[in-house]
Structure 1
Amino acid sequence: MKRFLLVAGGSIQDSFATEYLKAEKFDCILAADSGMEFFYRNGFVPDVIIGDFDSVRQETLSYFKEKEQILWQELNPIKDDTDTESAIRRAISMGAEEIVVLGATGTRLDHVLGNIELLGIGLLEHVKIYLLDAYNRIQMIDTGIRLDKQNQFGDYVSLIPYTQSVKGLTLTGMKYPLDHYELKGFCSLGISNEIQEDVAEISFEDGILIVVESRDRM
Structure 2
Amino acid sequence: MSTDWYPCGLLNNKPTNPYAVLILNQPINKNALNAVIQSASLLVCADGGANRLLEYDHNATNGFEKRLPDAIIGDLDSITQPTERYYRSRGVQVVRDPDQYSTDFTKCLKWIRDWTTKVAISSDSTMDVVVLGGLGGRVDQGFSQVHHLYLAENDKELLTGRIYLLSEQSLSFVLADSINLVHLEAGYFEENVGIIPILGRTLITTKGLEWDVDQWPTEFGGQMSTSNHIRSNMIELSFDGPRPLFTLELHQCFTLAGT
TM-score by length of 1: 0.87
Matched, 1:30 2:44: yes
1:170 aligns with 2:191: no
1:173 and 1:200 in contact (8 A); partners too: yes
Match of 1:67 in 2: 90
RMSD, matched Cα: 2.1
Distance 1:110 1:36, change over 3 A: same
2:130 counterpart letter in structure 1: V
Helix, strand or coil at the partner of 1:179: coil
Matched length? 213
Structure 1: runs of 5 or more not aligned: none
Does 1:21 find its partner at 2:37? yes
Q: 1:10–1:105: 8 Å Cα contact kept in structure 2?
A: no
Q: Deviations over 1:29-72 (max 9, x none)?
A: 1011111123322043101110122112211111011122x233
**What is aligned with 2:62?**
none
Q: Determine the structure 1 residue equivalent to 2:191.
A: 155
Instruction: Could you tell me which runs of 5 or more consecutive residues in structure 2 were left unpaired when the two chains were aligned.
Output: 1-16, 58-65, 117-125
Distance 1:188 1:34, change over 3 A: farther
d(CA) in 1 for partners of 2:189, 2:111: 27
Give the equivalent residue in structure 1 for 2:22. Answer: 6
> d(CA) in 2 for partners of 1:106 and 1:9?
13
Give the counterpart letter for 2:69 in structure 1.
P
SS at match of 1:92: helix
The aligned residue for residue 88 of structure 1 is: 109
Shift >4 Å, 4+ stretches: none
> Offset of 1:150 from its aligned partner?
1.2
1:54 to 77, 98, 101: 77
Whole-angstrom CA distance in 2 between matches of 1:58 and 1:188: 48
Identity %: 20
Distance 1:120 1:81 in 2: 15
The separation in 2 between residues aligned to 1:107 and 1:184, in whole angstroms, is 24
Take 2:114 and 2:46, find their aligned partners in 1: how far apart are those partners?
15
Question: What CA distance in whole angstroms lies between the structure 2 residues aligned with 1:59 and 1:130?
Answer: 30
Structure 1's 45 and 163: CA in aligned 2 closer, same or farther, altered over 3 A? Answer: same
Deviates more, 1:151-160 or 1:58-67: 151-160
Alignment of 1:96-115 (within 5 A): 97-115=127-145
| C-alpha contact 1:123 1:142 (8 A) present in aligned 2 | no
For normalisation by structure 2, the TM-score amounts to 0.74
